[in-house]
């Protein structure tokens, strides 16, 4: 699937292979200073704003390259540190994108594709291999178009969905390679940066 089409129409267990979460509270969505029972604290809201801003910046920084994006990698990093509350950031991100480009079919896709990624990462949050998340990121890009074809099952039936998916396979291959490469290269430095930010903010 060509992600740019919407504008137009559409710790340390191993030095080389592991990441660490610097604070044992990171990723514990039950710990938030100032949180009332079942509510959102000021820190939660600030984190939501930070995640949404970084998702937007990462998305538009690479807009000139078809199907090369940082959103997948950022959501992986955010989920490992902030847990399922990252889902709220995916909805905020989708809302802002919709405000920019208008409501089209891709909005429906975003509403389930990005939260699904967060859920998959959260279920594998105990994994420590950079290679694992790089492969996951690549596979997510490869099958992005297939899963995004789901709305077309209801719009035009299985033939329309299948045709739409097949037409976008070359873009999915680019998406796969780009996701894998970006995650392999940037996962560790971004994770360390997040650890540092959380340390200095005494979270």
Which two three-digit tokens encode residue 118? 């967060």
Per-residue pLDDT of the chain (203 residues; tens, 9 = 90+): 655 444 444 444 444 444 554 443 444 444 454 444 457 888 889 999 999 999 999 999 999 999 999 999 999 999 999 999 999 999 999 999 999 999 999 999 999 999 999 999 999 999 989 999 999 999 999 999 999 999 999 999 999 999 999 999 999 999 999 999 999 999 999 999 999 988 887 65
Give the number of other Cβ atoms within 10 Å of residue 107's Cβ: 16
Helix, strand, coil percentages (3-state) for the chain, rounded to 5, are: 70, 0, 30
For 129, what's the count of Cα atoms within 13 Å in the CB-facing half-sphere? 7
Phi first, then psi: what are they for 129, rounded to 5°? -85, 125
Distance CA 1, CA 8 (A): 14
Instruction: Tell me the three state secondary structure of residue 12.
Output: coil
**Tens of pLDDT, residues 7-17:** 444 444 444 44
Structural domains for the chain: 40-200 (1.10.1760.20)
Question: Degrees (nearest 5) of the Cα angle 171, 172, 178?
Answer: 90
Question: The whole model's pTM is what?
Answer: 0.83
């Amino acid at each position: 699937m060509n992600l740019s089409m919407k504008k137009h129409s559409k710790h340390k267990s191993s030095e080389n292979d592991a990441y660490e979460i610097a604070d044992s509270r990171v990723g514990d969505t039950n710990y938030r200073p100032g949180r009332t029972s079942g509510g959102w604290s000021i820190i939660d809201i600030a984190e939501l704003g930070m995640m949404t801003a970084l998702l937007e910046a990462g998305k538009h920084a690479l807009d000139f390259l078809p199907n090369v994006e940082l959103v997948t990698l950022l959501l992986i990093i955010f989920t490992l540190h902030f847990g399922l509350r990252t889902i709220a950031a995916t909805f905020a991100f989708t809302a802002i994108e919709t405000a920019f480009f208008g409501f089209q079919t891709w909005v429906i896709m975003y509403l389930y594709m990005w939260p699904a990624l967060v859920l998959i990462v959260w279920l594998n949050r105990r994994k420590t291999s950079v290679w694992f998340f790089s492969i996951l990121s690549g596979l997510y890009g490869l099958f992005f178009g297939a899963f995004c074809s789901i709305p077309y099952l209801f719009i035009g039936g299985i033939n329309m969905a299948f045709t739409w998916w097949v037409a976008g396979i070359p873009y999915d291959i680019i998406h796969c390679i780009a996701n894998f490469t970006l995650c392999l290269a940037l996962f560790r430095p971004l994770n360390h940066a997040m650890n540092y930010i959380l340390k200095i903010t005494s979270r």
